Each structure stands twice: as C-alpha cells, then as structure tokens.
C-alpha cells in the first residue's frame, strides 16, 4: 500500500534540477520545477535504465543523460525518441520544508 515518505528537504534540490532518492530497493527522481513545485518519477529512464539524476531539467522536461530521450516529469509522458515508454510518476507534496512522496 502506498504511503507518504519523507524524501528530502526542499533546499536539497536546486531550482530547475533534480536529485536521486533511493527507498526500499527502488530509485526515484525528485524534481524542483522553475515555478518551485516538486514532482517525483521513477529514477531510471524507461529506454535503457540509466539514472536520470545525471540528466538535464529544462522547464518541465527531464532529458536522459545517455541518449537524450525526454520526458515531461509532471506527467511522465515520453516526449522524444529514443524513449517510447512513459515514466511512472508519484504524488509529491511539501510540508514544513520537507518533500514527501507517496510511493
């Protein structure tokens, strides 16, 4: 059953950037958007399982560092080949300066 997990402090993530968060044998990516909202997706690219944390956040898009495939990290939608499979997303919220994700 999904539960809210304390993932990091809001200050741990720069604006328009992401960090990796590992929990219970799984890896996630947590994003801070240009308008200071937080989002969470799976941490590995759906193309070849590369960690997205080394990629580039541009507005609401995360670009995979290996093949430049792109996802909209708000919805997980695959936006640019070679990625074809959408990224799983998870609810995220901020409480008392902490980012919580529901996984």
Partner 1 sequence: MTKRDYSLLGPDAARAVKTGLATAQWYHTEVPRKEMKALMQRSDQPAVRDTILLFGAMILLAGLGIALWPSPWSAPAWLAYGVLYGSAMDSRWHECGHGTAFKTPWMNNAVYQIASFCMVRNPVVWRWSHARHHTDTIIVGRDPEIVAMRPPALFRIFLNFFGILDALTGWKHMLQNAAGHLGPEEADFIPEQERPKVFRVARIWVLIYAATIVLAVAMQSILPLMVIGLPRLYGAWHHVMTGIMQHAGLADNVLDHRLNSRTVYINPVSRFVYWNMNYHVEHHMFPMVPYHRLPELHEKIKHDLPAPNTSILDAYREIWPALKRQLRYEDYFLKRELPGTARPYREDLHAEALGVPAE
Residues found near partner 1 in the complex (CB under 8 A)? 17, 47-49, 54-56, 58, 63, 65-68, 70, 80-82, 84
**β partners of residue 51:** 44
Nearer to partner 1, 48 or 102 (CB): 48
Nearer to partner 1, 53 or 103 (CB): 53
59 sits in the region (left: phi over 0; alpha: psi -120 to 50; else beta) called left
CA 75/CA 78 separation, integer angstroms: 9
Smallest distance from the beta carbon of 45 to partner 1, in angstroms?
11
Q: Find the shortest distance in angstroms from Cβ 58 to partner 1.
A: 7
Beta bridge partners of 97: none
């Amino acid at each position: 059953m999904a539960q809210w997990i304390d993932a990091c402090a809001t200050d741990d993530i720069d604006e328009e950037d992401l960090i990796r968060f590992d929990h219970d044998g799984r890896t996630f990516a947590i994003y801070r958007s240009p308008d200071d909202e937080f989002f969470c997706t799976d941490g590995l690219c759906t193309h070849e399982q590369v960690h997205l944390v080394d990629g580039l956040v541009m507005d609401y898009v995360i670009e995979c560092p290996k093949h430049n495939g792109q996802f909209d990290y708000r919805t997980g939608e695959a936006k640019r080949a070679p990625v074809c499979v959408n990224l799983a997303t998870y609810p995220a919220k901020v409480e008392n300066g902490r980012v919580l994700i529901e996984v």
